[in-house]
């Protein structure tokens, strides 16, 4: 490794540690200017480094403040050693959902205009949905994607998917931002999302959002299964997934009485 590479690596690590420090004290997600001050580096260099960290999922840009948070790929990596509170709290709830539904359960997060699965718990079924940990799927055709968007306004949905092709999925999936937002709105009253053969023929799923202490949706719980076996259970499974998601939200400090419906 050359001197330039080592300097870039040190800068990237300094940025990650600075973001972690800001999150630890409850500060707003820092932008490039704040990060440059925190690590004592040139703003343009910090901007380039942050861009690379975002590209690799190690840092995410907060949609509200436009500051930066530790990315879910980084947290998923750390979660394998059991040191992330969300993943640790989610694991027994996923196991419970598998027992209740008999099907595979997942914990996923929003990554840009895609959904990243960070934790998955399988059943003992010979035929079941894939695990997908560490892989991304489109948000428009998945129950998890819509659960993660339940608080988004029309304008936020349009901005999020701008330039993203509505490719993949089946003919049942929405093909533009307007169709996607309409389905998000339709799911809000019940608090969970049902998707019937939109991501893949023969696959159905339910998902519900998980909120942090501030009420912000930070993840979603999901159960997916073959339609021939699970279709009749979808309404009940939706309630079970929502109950687990609400419990996980409470574990993260969320008080349901404080939610603001948009």
C-alpha torsion angle, residues 65, 89, 72, 238 (rounded to 10): -80
pLDDT at 262 over 50: no
* Burial (Cβ within 10 Å: 0-12, 13-18, ≥19) of residue 156: middle
Q: What is the pLDDT of residue 112?
A: 83
pTM of the predicted structure, to 2 decimals: 0.68
What CATH architecture is 3-70? Orthogonal Bundle (1.10)
Contact 10, 16 (CB under 8 A): no
Q: H-helix or E-strand containing 211?
A: strand 203-211
Question: Quick one: residue 135, left, alpha or beta (phi over 0 = left, psi -120 to 50 = alpha)?
Answer: beta
pLDDT in tens, 118-152: 888 876 654 445 556 667 888 899 999 999 999 99
Q: H-helix or E-strand containing 77?
A: helix 72-79
Q: How far apart are CA 142 and CA 217, in angstroms?
A: 16
Comparing CA positions, the residue from 90, 210, 60 lying closest to residue 150 is 210
35-62 burial by CB neighbour count: b if 16+ within 10 A, else e?
bbebbebeeeebeebbeebeeebbbbbe
Where exactly are the structural domains of the chain?
Answer: 3-70, 74-258
Average pLDDT, the chain: 86
Q: What is the pLDDT of residue 25?
A: 65
What CATH architecture is 74-258? 2-Layer Sandwich (3.30)
pLDDT in tens, 179-232: 999 999 999 999 999 999 999 999 999 999 999 877 889 899 999 999 998 989
Q: What is the pLDDT of residue 261?
A: 43
Q: What is the pLDDT of residue 76?
A: 67
pLDDT in tens, 44-75: 999 999 999 998 888 988 877 889 988 877 76
Question: Quick one: residue 215, left, alpha or beta (phi over 0 = left, psi -120 to 50 = alpha)?
Answer: left
Cα dihedral across residues 195, 200, 202, 203: positive or negative: negative
- Give the pLDDT band of residue 36 (cuts 50, 70, 90): very high
- Whether 3-70 and 74-258 share one fold: the answer is no
Q: What is the pLDDT of residue 124?
A: 65
């Amino acid at each position: 490794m050359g001197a330039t590479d080592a300097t870039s690596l040190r800068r990237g690590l300094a940025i990650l540690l600075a973001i972690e420090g800001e999150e630890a004290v409850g500060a707003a997600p820092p932008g490039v200017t704040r990060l440059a001050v925190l690590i004592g580096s040139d703003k343009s260099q910090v901007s380039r480094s942050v861009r690379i960290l975002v590209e690799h999922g190690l840092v995410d840009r907060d949609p509200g403040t436009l500051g930066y948070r530790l990315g879910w790929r980084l947290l998923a990596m750390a979660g394998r050693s059991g040191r992330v509170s969300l993943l640790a709290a989610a694991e027994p709830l996923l196991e419970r959902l598998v027992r209740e539904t008999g099907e595979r359960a997942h914990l996923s997060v929003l990554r840009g205009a895609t959904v990243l699965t960070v934790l998955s718990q399988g059943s003992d079924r010979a035929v079941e949905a894939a695990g997908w940990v560490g892989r991304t799927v489109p948000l428009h055709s998945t129950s998890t994607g819509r659960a993660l968007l339940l608080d988004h306004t029309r304008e936020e949905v349009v901005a999020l998917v701008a330039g993203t092709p509505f490719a993949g999925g089946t003919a049942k999936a929405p093909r533009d931002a307007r169709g996607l937002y309409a389905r998000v709105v339709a799911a809000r009253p019940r608090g969970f999302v049902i998707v019937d053969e939109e991501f893949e023929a023969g696959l159905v799923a339910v998902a519900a959002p998980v909120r942090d202490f501030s009420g912000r949706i930070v993840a979603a719980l999901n159960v997916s299964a073959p339609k021939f076996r699970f279709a009749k259970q979808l309404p009940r499974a939706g309630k079970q997934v929502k109950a687990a998601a609400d419990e996980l939200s409470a574990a993260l400090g969320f008080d349901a009485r404080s939610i603001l419906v948009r």
